[in-house]
Amino acid sequence: MLLEQKRKDLVDIGLRAIREGLTTGTGGNFSVCDRESGLMCITPSGIPYVKTTPEQIVVMDVQTGRIVDGDAIPSSECDMHRIFYKYRTDLDAVIHTHTDYASTYSCFRRPLPAIHYLAAFGGVEVKCAEYATYGTVELARNAFKAMEGANAVLLANHGLLAGAKTLDKAYDITEELEFCCKMVCFSMAMQASGFSPVELPREEMERMVERFKGYGKVFEKHEEI
């Protein structure tokens, strides 16, 4: 089977997302890119993650969008994944979800406020892409434009998209930004009582982006306490 391991990885990550509450049913879509062959693997359309098999993961040509292999129809958002692989070589995995809080906050069509440093997993600023009908090239272009220089983007009245070098990293970004969106939604509710969250300055978010590059890889030496 063509790109067998990558297809199995997508099945596994879909099951993990279901198990951990980051998606439901057939919501969202997951993909990975194989740079050597110029192909991408993406979850199928209309098949629940708990029933998806590796054979149903669809293999497509990144440059042309041609279906190369797979026993199903590719996700309707395949162009939104393909555009990132075609023009951003720093991303080899893309995860799009309809998580509760990110989807809720996306309806306000605003950038994600930096009220927690974990928002830096998505970049110095996580913007909200302009609204477009799902599954369209317009949405793909809007997402690509809004995610320039970042690892994630909110999709207006829709959900969240995150990209990274690996599926696990893209999944981590999705988890952390859903947590941040949850904090923002709670904070917005508290504003009715006269409380307002304090946003972290851009300089601190830039510092966090740099620190996260070595997270879990490099031990940081600290000043004497």
pLDDT of residue 58: 98
| CATH code at position 56 | 3.40.225.10
pLDDT of residue 146: 98
Residue 222 inside a domain? The answer is no
pLDDT of residue 222: 61
Whether residue 73 contacts residue 47, with contact meaning beta carbons closer than 8 Å, is answered with no
pLDDT of residue 195: 77
pLDDT of residue 34: 98
pLDDT < 70: residue spans in the chain: 216, 218-223
Question: Can you give the pTM of this predicted structure?
Answer: 0.90
Residue 206 inside a domain? The answer is yes
Residue 224 inside a domain? The answer is no
- Token pair, residue 145, equals 């434009």
Residue 143 inside a domain? The answer is yes
Helix (H) or strand (E) holding 208: helix 202-212
- The domain total for the chain is 1
Residue 221 inside a domain? The answer is no
pLDDT of residue 64: 97
* Residues annotated as part of the active site: 77
Residue 108 inside a domain? The answer is yes
User: What is the CB-side half-sphere exposure of residue 221 using CA atoms within 13 A?
Assistant: 1
Residue 100 inside a domain? The answer is yes
Residue 223 inside a domain? The answer is no
pLDDT of residue 216: 65
- Residue 208 structural domain: 4-212
